[in-house]
Structure 1
């Protein structure tokens, strides 16, 4: 539909501009033609009146026309290229500038005779029988002072004036045609320059409407059409971003459901198998107790999974409120080391604690801080088979930094940016007995950022990892 509109706009612009130009040039041409004709007629009349008065000056001493006066009439006829008539006070033509003139003895119109007798002048277009062509005629009094003997008439052919006016009109017509051709070219270009970007906008809008949000309109103009194109491009960019976010959210939701299903299906499958075996009487009392223990562990694992999911959901919805107070970091770290001492000793590892002298207090929620650092230390122990684990506390740029380093199997470069995602489990040689929900580090990151701090990781495969947690220093 928009393409039809574009074509309609092109036609309307073209026809309206052409009609305007054509009417404008036509009206101007007609006005010039009529004004030129009026000017030429007026100039000719004035010139004839001036010449008639010169003739009167030459013959005003003659009260009657004799040979001498007739010779003057012939002279003025040749000089002015105009026929001259002389009529008496009754309007009767008594002399002409042409010897073979047939009008002698005839009379001019009585209205002209009376007007001239009163001292006035008369102008008229005459189609007199006997004249080959229409004439423009002027009549002036013949005489001197108050003595009027009659009148003098000068004739000038109209055809010459009409030919001049015709040439002017022809020139105006050709000018109008040339103007229309030039205007057609200019208007066509202007209409095309308007309709072409509209067609580009139409095509782009159609593609955007079909879901191609990466489509952009390539229009460089800075007028209203360019502004429209930029607005559509901005809209497409926002739609593209919205679609990307929607796809990402959909992928996260899909991954979340898949991961939860996987994490729950594994222990449920194991428990179902044990229960079916006991129900069928295939398990003796000694093995029954072992199965109970396994099912209890699987139940605890599912509870931890659900607790972690609930915790993440609350963190995302800002439903976790921190109870922040100044925390003695050195005492906190040494107490945490005692908590993991038995687990470290069981794996044959060594846990070292280092605290900077004069370490300021951290402004944190003690229980949440223990959850943060404890989770990272627990991961370090889990993925370290031999060597040392160090927990170092120091002041860095207005923060208390808790660095947990290990000599474990490390994290690959491809996995380092993804370890903060829900349910992501890096390929760190995780054995079957190293169960985890894949939510621990996601919770840690959310809790650290809720404190106004940051967490970063440095790691290389087979060379260990270093997690650096920064918590704001307590004021004062």
Structure 2
């Protein structure tokens, strides 16, 4: 099957458009030149009428003989290259400048037009004389003597075959030029479409196939600043995104493998040591406790991976409703009361109002606040301060969670939402899976809200927004 390419379609389309356009122009020029040629020829012949009229009147008045009139008419006929007939006032032919019309001498012609000619009007018509195969363009002009007396008419016969021959040469030039213009235009269109459109698109097609095959480092060379250039730039942006996605995928698989391997290796080692009798009986409970903690860590990791997968795939539907965010904060603090006491933290809560009603999914907003509070507790200094504040401004609710502790380096702030990202080791603990903040970011994005982090003088503050609602 022959490939019906975009390039072929464009060349054919543009060639057809140009051909039609040039054909219309050529046809218009042909008709216009024909009309102009005839009008110009008529004006040239009309300029000789005055001379013809003067000679005819001199002959009628007896000032010159017939031979002189006939010779002068033949001279003028040769000059204008057309045949001249002179008619008297009754339409009888008395002078003919061409032998082919000699049979008309003494015959009456154009009787129907004599009345108009006698009133000073001229006439023009296409005429086919008897015994003539060709047509003649006839120009009739009245001959007037003294006191505007009608003395007859001068008939100039323009051979249509001669006229058409002259025009055909002009038409030939026009149509040959049109054909040449179409051919040249097609060649130019072929070249520019190939260079400007087809080649860049073909290059993008090749690069796209290589990217699809896994070579995500390939890029298109941007060679113009037009729409094709913008398309190429957008293609490269897409390729950059795909490369980043591929890199994130590889890092994700590497991180998951590492995070899963670590607790599994520990569990396997401890249980294997117990079964092999390497670990003393009195130490078995101690190592079983460590193995149990590793299992809990593994469970948290798998649960958070499932949560993250569910959020990213959009498998669950948000149940948005008006909630008292203050009450959600209270519940989250109560659930972490034991951890707060173990670390001897000072937790302070600031509510602007008794109730702060905002629109959210109850389970997901609970997960957001729990993860942020868990993060604050983990990284707060021993015996340090954790502050939670809820306030409203305009149509938004603002929830902030602060903990005293080491600041996040500026170069790490933009990466803290990434899965498994671990920058500052002072903020990295074994109990952390590296997925909590990523899940928080995804959930807040589903709410179509914002979240950000700031380094304060003596700690770190996370803040997110919710849209205010009305209590049901």
- Give the alignment's TM-score, normalised by structure 2: 0.61
Tell me which of 402, 421, 426 is aligned to 2:423. Answer: 426
Deviation at 1:429, TM superposition (A): 1.8
Tell me which of 398, 414, 437 is aligned to 1:401. Answer: 398
Residue by residue over 1:387-416, the C-alpha shift from the partner in whole angstroms, topping out at 9 and shown as x without a partner, is 632323332214443322122112122222
Q: Which secondary structure state, in structure 2, belongs to the residue aligned with residue 211 of structure 1?
A: helix
CA contact (8 A) 1:308 1:440 kept: yes
Deviation at 1:458, TM superposition (A): 0.7
CA contact (8 A) 2:340 2:377 kept: yes
User: Is 1:352 equivalent to 2:347 in the alignment?
Assistant: yes
Q: Counterparts of 1:322-341 in structure 2 under 5 Å?
A: 322=319, 326-327=323-324, 329=326, 333=329, 336-337=332-333, 339-341=335-337
Q: Cα gap change, 1:362/1:34 in structure 2, threshold over 3 Å: closer, same or farther?
A: closer
CA contact (8 A) 1:21 1:180 kept: no
Q: Cα gap change, 1:123/1:11 in structure 2, threshold over 3 Å: closer, same or farther?
A: farther
CA contact (8 A) 2:386 2:402 kept: yes
Deviation at 1:119, TM superposition (A): 9.0
Tell me which of 174, 193, 197 is aligned to 1:198. Answer: 193
CA distance in structure 1 between the partners assigned to 2:238 and 2:337 by the alignment: 49
Tell me which of 435, 457, 466 is aligned to 2:431. Answer: 435
Q: Counterparts of 1:242-321 in structure 2 under 5 Å?
A: 243=239, 246-316=242-312, 317-319=314-316, 321=318
Q: Counterparts of 1:130-209 in structure 2 under 5 Å?
A: 139=105, 194=189, 197-199=192-194, 200-209=196-205
Larger radius of gyration, structure 1 or 2? Answer: 1
Tell me which of 68, 93, 103 is aligned to 1:121. Answer: 93
Cα RMSD, aligned residues only? 5.4
Kindly tell me the number of residue pairs found equivalent between the two proteins: 391
Q: Cα gap change, 1:261/1:181 in structure 2, threshold over 3 Å: closer, same or farther?
A: same
Residue by residue over 1:43-97, the C-alpha shift from the partner in whole angstroms, topping out at 9 and shown as x without a partner, is 9899879856754553xxxxxxxxxxxxx766x645774499xxxxxxxxxxxxx
Q: Which secondary structure state, in structure 2, belongs to the residue aligned with residue 425 of structure 1?
A: coil
Q: Which secondary structure state, in structure 1, belongs to the residue aligned with residue 426 of structure 2?
A: coil
Deviation at 1:265, TM superposition (A): 1.0
User: Is 1:464 equivalent to 2:454 in the alignment?
Assistant: no
CA contact (8 A) 1:406 1:465 kept: yes
Which sections of structure 2, spanning at least 5 residues, go unmatched?
75-86, 108-156, 209-218
> Could you tell me which residue of structure 2 aligns to residue 153 of structure 1?
none
> Could you tell me which residue of structure 1 aligns to residue 379 of structure 2?
383
